[in-house]
């Protein structure tokens, strides 16, 4: 049961990396220093004060960058591989009592995969916002992403199962929204009306 909960913690934090790369790591560092989270062997450095300061600075820079017009798209390009790497590390650091091979396999597939899925959804949302509003609504999207990263990161530590369920709900809602838009944009097959031919005498 404890292993299953730690896996849920890792997946929840990894998915939050898809919203913002450094916010989940900062939350992990704070939780470790406050005694609310035990990091796996080899990842104790996340729960140190130098790491806390570095992650706090990186988080502030990342948040500020997403509010600069057009720079947010560049950050999305860079954040895609970074979020997958961060998701892998976060899952590996949350799961302790497991063989290294199984842990890293789980971290790459579940952690990196969850971060990649959420990051892909944020890219689609930002692209839709840019296409429909010319980028004017992108700050609102950035704010929602920051809120998602913060809420999911905290829930992943406090209520990991609830965090995973929340992520599944969010991804399902985004997927349904874009599926409906893609169906609405695809042209239907226009069937020409039947033409009656009257034979000439």
Task: Kindly list the domain boundaries of the chain, sorted by start residue.
Answer: 2-184
Instruction: Tell me which residues of the chain have a pLDDT lower than 50.
Output: 189-191
Q: Is 95 left (phi over 0), alpha (psi -120 to 50) or beta?
A: beta
Structure confidence at residue 182 (pLDDT): 64
Going from the C-alpha of 82 to that of each of 1, 30, 91, 112, the distances in angstroms are 30, 21, 14, 10
Structure confidence at residue 157 (pLDDT): 92
Residue 123, burial from CB neighbour count under 10 angstroms (0-12, 13-18, 19+): middle
Structure confidence at residue 29 (pLDDT): 95
Residue 112 DSSP one-character state: I
- pTM reported for the whole predicted model: 0.81
């Amino acid at each position: 049961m404890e292993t299953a909960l730690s896996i849920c913690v890792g997946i929840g934090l990894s998915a939050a990396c898809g919203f913002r790369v450094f916010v989940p790591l900062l939350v992990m560092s704070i939780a470790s220093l406050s005694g609310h989270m035990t990091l796996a062997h080899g990842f104790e450095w996340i729960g140190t004060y130098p790491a806390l300061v570095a992650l706090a600075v990186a988080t502030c820079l990342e948040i500020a960058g997403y509010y600069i017009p057009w720079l947010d798209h560049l950050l999305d390009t860079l954040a895609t591989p970074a979020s997958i790497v961060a998701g892998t590390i976060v899952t590996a650091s949350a799961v302790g009592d497991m063989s290294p091979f199984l842990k890293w396999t789980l971290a790459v597939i579940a952690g990196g995969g969850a971060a990649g899925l959420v990051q892909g959804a944020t890219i689609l949302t930002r692209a839709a916002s840019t296409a429909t509003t010319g980028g004017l609504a992108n700050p609102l999207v950035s704010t929602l992403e920051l809120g998602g990263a913060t809420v999911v990161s905290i829930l992943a530590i406090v209520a990991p199962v609830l965090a995973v369920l929340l992520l599944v709900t969010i991804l399902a809602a985004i997927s349904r929204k874009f599926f409906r838009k893609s169906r609405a944009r695809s042209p239907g097959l226009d069937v020409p009306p039947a033409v009656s031919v009257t034979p000439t005498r």
